[in-house]
Amino acid sequence: MDRAWVYLVTGGCGFIGEKIVELLSQQDYIKEVRVFDSVAREEVKKFTTATTLVTVTKGDLRDYNLLLAAMRGVDVVIHTAAIVDYRNTVPFWEMRAINVGGTENVLRACCALDIPYVVHTSSIAAVGPNTLCEPMFRGNEDTKYSGEVELPYGKTKAMAEKLVFEANGKKLSNGGKLTTCIIRANTVYGEKGMFLQELYSFVKARNGVMNYLEPENTERNYTYVGNVAWMHVLAARNLQLNPDLLAGQVYYSYDDTPTRKGFLIRHQLLSSADPSVRLGSHIPYWKMWLMIQLHRIIKVILYPFWKPWPFLNLPLLNTIVTTFSYETDKASRHFGYKPLFTWEESKHRTVQWLKAAAGDLQSPHLPKKKN
């Protein structure tokens, strides 16, 4: 590339977004990485290097004028910001306003400012499982799968994907065209993966026994956050270098995490951080289904006097017990992706963070962190 570029990462203070910012700041062809996030943690500025400046703007994707101002002078947008909610704790209208309306604003601003490249972070939940709980067993980006998506979060990501696909090839005022591609993340683990910290606390409260919901023949891909982020970095660069190949394409994230059995991955990570964690037994579907129904009834009866911690819901339970896995090398073929972190490195980084996070939880001198 013949000049230094300016990248903007929406949601750059989030779980995946922060890792994208970190890796972008290490690339010698980028002079500035801008972060646009409703949280806007100033600590991400620590990724600034001698050649790459990291800046942070606090803003809501629904505020089009603020987003437009943050995007002026930008060459490439990596759109990662979204409400990720599997437990239905956020009203659907609000999740849709951010995940769909926010994506619409990003694409609209790109057209207004002649920004030609957008990499959109989506999710396997945008594809399925569907409401019939039909499995997908080791499919790929071309596998045909239809039906209404089960999870409300997945519905919003599917709607956002539709906007991104439709925007690809749209004419810009300077004579160029908008070029977009999509990366579908799956179950992502790694440092600051709060589901692991919550699971660890849950398991320790049950004498270190980790039971699991998915049947042992159920498959679902897991990918380390650093490798998901690295795929974004490579896709964004190659969207500039080889737009005709990547334009309008979708890529599943993957790495060499050794199994598609989620409960085994979770046990390996937790037991490596704390050897006292033991793998328990499978919880039958019918038992959890009854618990969900009972929880709903009690919640209705006692509302508004009792507002319990978000519990498992039926769409999420159906998603957990349904095989939805894939096998692909498309990112490798299209833009030379190889995992930046091996499984051993990924596990080590995750375990070290989990040990530190567990220590913080157990310390009586530290205030509880509110998520």
H helices present in 182-313, as ranges: 194-204, 225-241, 243-246, 262-273, 285-302
What count of other Cβ atoms lies within 10 Å of the Cβ of residue 193? 21
**Lookup result for tokens 């095989």:** 323
**Do you know the residue count of the chain?**
371
CA distance 222 to 258: 9
**Residue 33 DSSP SS3:** strand
CA distance 151 to 68: 31
Contact 244, 168 (CB under 8 A): no
Given phi > 0 = left and psi -120 to 50 = alpha, else beta, which region is 114? left
Distance spanning both ends of the chain, measured CA to CA: 41
What is the CA 141 to chain-centroid distance, rounded?
18
Using alpha carbons, select from 281, 270, 150 the residue that is nearest to residue 214.
281
Helix (H) and strand (E) counts in the chain: 13, 13
**Residue 108 DSSP SS3:** helix
Contact 361, 273 (CB under 8 A): no
Contacts of 359 (CB under 8 A, 6+ apart): none
**251 classed as catalytic:** no
Question: What would the two tokens of residue 209 be?
Answer: 């026994």
- Which helix (H) or strand (E) covers residue 340, if one does? none
CA distance 189 to 76: 26
Which one of the listed residues 7, 86, 153, 252 is annotated catalytic? 153
Contact 126, 82 (CB under 8 A): no
Question: What would the two tokens of residue 3 be?
Answer: 């000049």
Catalytic residues, which ones? 153
